[in-house]
């Protein structure tokens, strides 16, 4: 999984939206702590999912990826959402559930196309071919 935090600065639209969101959240009571909790949880959950999958426990990875996906959607990180959808597709494929894998990879592919990420588009097409 590519860490989306490293790519945000490369996309002016994402950076602008993220800055506006930060201003809005920080203006709310407890907003600063909410940001720290969400971002920390988001990164940790994705890493835990990757580690679980690498250790041969795709069921546990799915639990972590689903939680990370929910946060990606909450904070509006489309690239991260696509990454976690792709990770879910890979985990379901390893469990022997190709139809679920295809469903997740199709969603990830749609996001990659929406945001114009040709590399991830190719990755998701490759994963669809394998599933």
19 found inside a domain: no
3 found inside a domain: no
Q: Which residue has the higher pLDDT, 13 or 88?
A: 88
State what percent of residues in the chain have pLDDT above 70: 69
List the structure tokens of 109.
């592919």
Angle, helices 98-115 vs 118-130, to 10°: value is 170
Res. 96: pLDDT tops 80: yes
What's this model's pTM, rounded to 2 decimal places?
A: 0.72
pLDDT in tens, 12-33: 555 555 556 556 656 666 666 6
Q: Which residue, 68, 49, 70, is CA-closest to 59?
A: 49
Predicted pLDDT of residue 5: 39
Q: Give the CATH number for residue 61.
A: 1.25.40.10
CA distances from 62 to 10, 16, 126 (A): 29, 31, 20
44 found inside a domain: yes
Total domain count for the chain?
A: 1
- Find the domain containing 95 and state its range: 33-130
Residue range 88-112: average pLDDT?
Answer: 96
48 burial level (CB within 10 Å; 0-12, 13-18, 19+): middle
Alpha-helical runs (H) found in the chain: 5-8, 12-26, 31-54, 58-75, 78-94, 98-115, 118-130
At 8, the pLDDT band (50, 70, 90 cuts) reads very low
Euclidean distance between CA atoms 18 and 12, whole angstroms? 10
Average pLDDT, the chain: 81
């Amino acid at each position: 999984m590519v860490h989306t935090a490293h790519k945000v600065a490369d996309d002016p639209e994402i950076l602008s939206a993220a800055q506006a969101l930060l201003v809005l959240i920080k203006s709310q009571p407890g907003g600063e702590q909410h940001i720290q909790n969400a971002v920390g949880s988001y990164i940790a959950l994705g890493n835990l999912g990757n580690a679980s999958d690498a250790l041969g426990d795709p069921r546990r990875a799915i639990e972590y990826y689903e939680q990370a996906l929910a946060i990606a959607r909450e904070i509006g990180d489309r690239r991260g959402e696509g990454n976690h959808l792709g990770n879910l597709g890979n985990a379901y494929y390893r469990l022997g559930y190709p139809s679920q894998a295809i469903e997740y990879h199709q969603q990830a592919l749609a996001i990659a196309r929406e945001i114009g990420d040709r590399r991830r588009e190719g990755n998701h097409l490759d994963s669809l071919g394998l599933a």
